[in-house]
Amino acid sequence: MKKILFTIISLTIFFACSSGESVEKSILEQINDDGSVYSIDDFVKSGFKPSKNYDVTNLPGASKVVYGFWKTPNKVPADYEIRIYLSHEDAVNIGIKYAKERSGETALLDESEASWKEGLKEARFCSGPTRSGGGVNCGLPKYNNFYVYSNSIILCQGRNIEESSINCEFLINSLK
């Protein structure tokens, strides 16, 4: 009886320890260069559905910016703003400033504050009572995080930074 109990306990410990070691989360760095140069077509091939092309005249360094959606693996559509730059260096050195301005709790979503005015309407999320009247707040950021992936900056929808990050990683992983 002791041998059986010892064997059961040993196997339980072995499987508990070994299963913990094999579980790894694939977490991307927020700034990552895989050496590729991406275009909007690469995102479209992964299932991204473009809705609007933005004028990039006043967005330094950007060659193309598109707003659209992509269905996450659990089939929930999420909105994205994808900005394409000529190089990873341009995305980092020029684009991050403007991505920070458009995302997170400190996003500048009013035309009087934002450096780049295109797409401000789509970058807002509305919250609040709708049926009972009262104040609806449309000054909340839709994009709570962004990732720099090679020569692209991807602003991702999410109620908080964690959800936005997950949505960014879903889309980036679909490119691989």
CB 109 within 8 A of CB 139: yes
Domain boundaries, position 87: 35-175
Encode pLDDT of 104-121 as tens digits. Answer: 999 999 999 999 999 999
Is residue 17 a part of any domain in this protein? no
Q: 142 with 124: CB under 8 angstroms?
A: yes
Q: What is the C-alpha R_g of the chain?
A: 21
**What is the pLDDT confidence band of residue 137, given thresholds at 50, 70 and 90?**
low
Strand 143-149 relative to strand 137-141, pairing: unpaired
In a domain, 131, yes or no: yes
pLDDT digits (tens, 9 = 90+) for 46-84: 999 999 999 999 999 999 999 999 999 989 999 999 999
Neighbours of 88 (CB within 10 A): 21
Q: How many domains does the chain have?
A: 1
The per-residue pLDDT for range 140-154, each reduced to its tens digit, is: 899 999 999 999 999
Q: Is residue 18 part of a domain?
A: no
| Average pLDDT of the chain, as a whole number | 85
Output the pTM of the full model. Answer: 0.81
- Evaluate whether residue 49 is within a structural domain: yes
